[in-house]
Amino acid sequence: MRMITAIIRPHKYEELRDALIALGIEGITVTQVSGFGRQRGQTEIYRGAEYNVAEVPKVRIDVAVSAALAEKAVREIERVANTGKIGDGKIFVQPLEQVIRIRTGETNETALG
């Protein structure tokens, strides 16, 4: 099993959610976050005044998947989230030791579905 965390542009979220559902992923966790990487923020104009915003708004998506589905999910996130511009985001893939569905007590891959 794998935990995939993707940090993407907010306007790409709905398209990515639909693509992950189409792959058969049944659950995702979404958080609105802000931060920066190489982009180092952005310049905004408000009421005619220019100012720098250090942290850029992003969406963080966490998805727990079976090892067999992990590569497909990563490729789909890459495909959908890519605009070709700085600030497209990152994908982190980590091993997932155990999953437990609280309601039923199901564990691991059975608990993912």
The runs of H, that is alpha helices, within the chain are 13-23, 67-81, 108-112
pLDDT in tens, 24-49: 998 999 999 998 887 666 666 677 77
Give the pLDDT confidence score for residue 96 in this predicted structure. 95
Domains of the chain with bracketed CATH: 2-112 (3.30.70.120)
Give the pLDDT confidence score for residue 55 in this predicted structure. 82
Q: In sequence order, what are the residues at sequence separation of 6 or more whose Cβ sits closer than 8 angstroms to the Cβ of residue 64?
A: 1, 2, 3, 4, 27, 96, 99, 112
Q: What is the pTM of this model?
A: 0.85
Give the pLDDT confidence score for residue 13 in this predicted structure. 97
Give the pLDDT confidence score for residue 41 in this predicted structure. 64
The list of the chain residues with pLDDT below 70 reads: 39-45, 51
